[in-house]
Structure 1
């Protein structure tokens, strides 16, 4: 039975079959207890090494496991209790139990969670519940290093078992030994069991650019959440490259900004309010006010179109969010249950942006859809459009489309495999005549590892392809899963037809390094070949090590009223 719990795949294309199979594997049945009054909720938290939440008779036998557990701060019972959607003296709702397990698994410091019903002798109308939580090792140490600079990061995701996050970083410039940077941050999660997070952060780079942040945030963490909002203050000092026509050269100029952001939203259930099979569908109403002030900015010679100007934005949004979750394994982890969001959402964002002493009306839409299809796999698509309107003129328009696909799991010998595909289209219309209002192929929405200051445009198309394996063995919980990948990107401007724009590509292979017990993100090591990178040369070979995952799935995390980002 334990082997099937860890290694037997399920077919998520059939949601009811998937739920039934996983529930059978977990050896529990909530159907016979639906509606019973919850008399007592007991919580057991288990250290990360040598324990099993499905069989509590298992205990660590190895000395290294015992040492690791002794150095680990176990999650407090009240930390877990504050995340429960089920309450004592309330009727048992199996959907809320599954949603509670998902919320627990969503925390980085929790690897697995299971809630079991426990019958009460001679009592038929009540039930006890036992919540088992298996911790992850919550202290994460990582870093980056190159010939020019280095960075060492230390993050604790479960500070003293409270579920709070502490972040510290030390940064060093090897070329100028006097240039040192650091990061100090604290994030208090779920204050007083309200699902409100409070965060303070100071992040200083080696060139002394910095970011200061203070915020209070509550998200629509679940379809059962009725309200969300944020109040945040941010100050930034940073440098940007600008073209100075007077001296015909690119120069580095500083910018300093202050930002205030306030928004609030309310969710109204309009369907599946009392459904025993589906989570509620919500109508969400929200409003937002943000203010951006430039304390230091480029002069008119550099920024002739006033791209960097003070602005006030007042936006409202209305939309429908319909989301459910299916459970599967072998997507981003090896064997552990993963929660995959499926559903659809439709939102309209509209309001006023005021800058340069004029009001610009803004209108935008977001459409998102995802589902599993039997014998085909997971498919998701999202479309965004936004434009400014002023005196009949339409300007700074953006159209974006993003698609994600992964195949059903298939096997080669005793190895599991999946195929991932992602596409990203961005089209800008009537953008400002400044290089900062252009897009490129760099970063996580372009070609991985591609970096060129000579490649930019107003529109692009990127296609990414990755064949991922899942190794059937591990060493001390570490797994190195090989992959091969391919990226293709077009970028250019009007009036050239879309696919006659410049074409760039990458061919790569490597390993995803993960650990079953630790909280750190998957490490991606890859060797890549780039036929051309303008400004660097032809047939460029690079070795990349990072934590980026281009194939993150849309979890329908609600985004406040916003202006479509052009990138």
Structure 2
């Protein structure tokens, strides 16, 4: 009997040992298989992100790579973040690689939790290729992310897929020195992705011996997709006239905002809220008789609902209904009689409702504003009508407008946009009516060896009717650099612009160079002027410089020759602009708004 028990115990022990070995082997095999899938997905994501070293320019629909997997079940979602040793330009020079290794030590990569707070795709959902394209673009739109790719891996023998979210950060530390050196330098220091949590902090400080007080500061904090809600939070305080600044004096301001965009046509809600207090500060020690002392608050709230968010996957047509209320009221108004009747120093409030019909897809391409990174170009239409009621300077009037926007991107890489806007206030008939139309066309990016060339042309026509309180038409630097024509009672404006940009392979420690040339022409029509038609032209040569790895924006140096300025003289204007932001791709809908034409 004891021998039987011993034999049974040995058999039981061997069986358990064999079972453990089998389980361990199976577990190792599963782990190896899972690791292999993740590794392959990461390698594919790396290849897609570093594709810019290839000769061809990317032209691809946002959903194109995901269509073969439509309707499959999403099993797992993994997140991978590439370091700075991986460049969108492929293999870099040794000095750039060394800088990348140093950046890796200083920079905190975006945390997995932060990336997941920006995902609106979840495990166990059916794969929607259009929604995946929207999410990939939404990640790319974040200021702290340079590139993002979603890699789909099918699971053999099942109807499931795994997703790998592969991203590449921007070096989030930045700074700049501006103002007027050496008399009044302005220093800015910021981090757009503090601790890898999608939160930004900026500190600005100005030293000016002619200012009272001599030192001025500005502080700002931002959080992207606050608590995973896709709403962006901002809070700020400034002594540097960098707030809304409705008046002509230098202003201090404090405020906050919470803005949730419509991240996808499959989302239901969008909206926002904001508050700010702004007040003029006599930092230049001007006489009390001249200085305009005022203080005002601005409150703004809007909310919209997206109809059709549960439509069939391929149907991207939607209707969006939004309501907005705003109130700008003066706590203290200026005492000077010559400005008390100006609309910007009086209360302004209103309520607006907007109904929008839209359908929009996106193409992925390169070399539009960026220097090789992936850029998302919208293609579709947006038709909206806004109706509301406003009260400005005690003038209570209904308001209405119609906006038509059409965008088209072709497989060749060219694209264009057309706009038609009409708006009017109503009070005993039409008042302050505006008609504005225009368009922009971009050619495809032509490849000449290692160089890329893209050209663009734009046209804008604006007409005012029955003006009462609205501003006259002007020409500013957005139409012709270095020119400012505002002292003309103009009711009609035509503007043309042409530009050709050359994206070169030249690089200095990661900074890429793109020379460009531009031609501008604009005409104003003024019935009360001695010269009814006033024509202006400008010819520019310039250069843009950018390092796509840095949070710091594009640097632009441009010289413009003006044969005739607003005083009838010829002149040469030079401009140096830094930290230019050509980042955000188009959004589906916006808050209801009054027409803007200057």
Question: Shorter-normalised TM-score: what interval?
Answer: 0.7 to 0.9
Match of 1:282 in 2: 318
For 1:461, what is the secondary structure of its paired residue?
A: strand
Work out whether 1:226 is the aligned partner of 2:268.
Answer: yes
Match of 2:32 in 1: none
For 1:437, what is the secondary structure of its paired residue?
A: coil
1:420-454 per-position Cα deviation (integer Å, ceiling 9, x unaligned)? 12223332223346xx823421243x322323564
Match of 2:566 in 1: 534
Q: Given the alignment, which residue of 507, 511, 523 partners 2:543?
A: 511
Deviation at 1:516, TM superposition (A): 2.6
For 1:482, what is the secondary structure of its paired residue?
A: strand
Work out whether 1:263 is the aligned partner of 2:324.
Answer: no
Match of 1:487 in 2: 520
1:284-332 per-position Cα deviation (integer Å, ceiling 9, x unaligned)? 1111111111233345831475534223201111111211101111212
Deviation at 1:32, TM superposition (A): 4.6
Work out whether 1:378 is the aligned partner of 2:415.
Answer: yes
Tell whether the 8 Å contact from 1:41 to 1:88 is kept in structure 2 after alignment. yes
Tell whether the 8 Å contact from 2:459 to 2:497 is kept in structure 1 after alignment. yes
Answer 1 or 2: which has greater strand percent: 1
Structure 2: gaps (5+ residues): 1-46, 242-248, 283-288
* Distance change (3 Å), C-alpha of 1:172 and 1:452: farther
Match of 2:148 in 1: 113
Match of 1:140 in 2: 174
TM-score, normalised with respect to structure 1: 0.85
Instruction: Indicate the structure (1 or 2) with the bigger Cα radius of gyration.
Output: 2
1:144-543 to 2 correspondence within 5 Å?
A: 144-146=178-180, 149-173=184-208, 175-176=210-211, 178-205=213-240, 209-238=251-280, 253-269=292-308, 273-276=311-314, 280-298=316-334, 301-303=337-339, 305=341, 307=343, 308-357=345-394, 359-373=396-410, 377-390=414-427, 392-432=428-468, 437-444=471-478, 446-451=479-484, 454=487, 457-494=490-527, 501-534=533-566, 538-543=569-574
Tell whether the 8 Å contact from 2:378 to 2:409 is kept in structure 1 after alignment. no
Tell whether the 8 Å contact from 2:56 to 2:447 is kept in structure 1 after alignment. no
* Distance change (3 Å), C-alpha of 1:546 and 1:52: closer
Paired with 1:127 and 1:548, the residues of 2 have a C-alpha distance of 41
* Distance change (3 Å), C-alpha of 1:232 and 1:263: same
* Distance change (3 Å), C-alpha of 1:506 and 1:306: closer
Tell whether the 8 Å contact from 2:408 to 2:415 is kept in structure 1 after alignment. yes
Paired with 2:178 and 2:191, the residues of 1 have a C-alpha distance of 18
Q: Given the alignment, which residue of 110, 114, 126 partners 2:160?
A: 126
Moved over 6 A (4+): 53-56, 548-554
Q: How many residues align?
A: 534
1:207-239 per-position Cα deviation (integer Å, ceiling 9, x unaligned)? 751222212221112222211111211122249
Tell whether the 8 Å contact from 2:151 to 2:163 is kept in structure 1 after alignment. yes
Match of 1:245 in 2: none
Paired with 2:290 and 2:485, the residues of 1 have a C-alpha distance of 16
Paired with 1:41 and 1:376, the residues of 2 have a C-alpha distance of 32
Tell whether the 8 Å contact from 2:140 to 2:148 is kept in structure 1 after alignment. yes
Deviation at 1:202, TM superposition (A): 1.3
Tell whether the 8 Å contact from 2:553 to 2:580 is kept in structure 1 after alignment. no
Paired with 2:519 and 2:472, the residues of 1 have a C-alpha distance of 25
1:120-146 per-position Cα deviation (integer Å, ceiling 9, x unaligned)? 4x5422222221111111122124333
* Distance change (3 Å), C-alpha of 1:60 and 1:515: closer
Match of 1:50 in 2: 85
For 1:472, what is the secondary structure of its paired residue?
A: coil
TM-score, normalised with respect to structure 2: 0.81
Tell whether the 8 Å contact from 1:404 to 1:551 is kept in structure 2 after alignment. no
* Distance change (3 Å), C-alpha of 1:91 and 1:300: same
Paired with 1:456 and 1:161, the residues of 2 have a C-alpha distance of 52
Match of 2:13 in 1: none
Tell whether the 8 Å contact from 1:227 to 1:264 is kept in structure 2 after alignment. yes
Paired with 1:130 and 1:552, the residues of 2 have a C-alpha distance of 24
508-517 or 525-534, larger mean C-alpha shift:
525-534
Deviation at 1:165, TM superposition (A): 1.8
Paired with 2:352 and 2:211, the residues of 1 have a C-alpha distance of 45
* Distance change (3 Å), C-alpha of 1:500 and 1:354: closer
Deviation at 1:408, TM superposition (A): 1.4
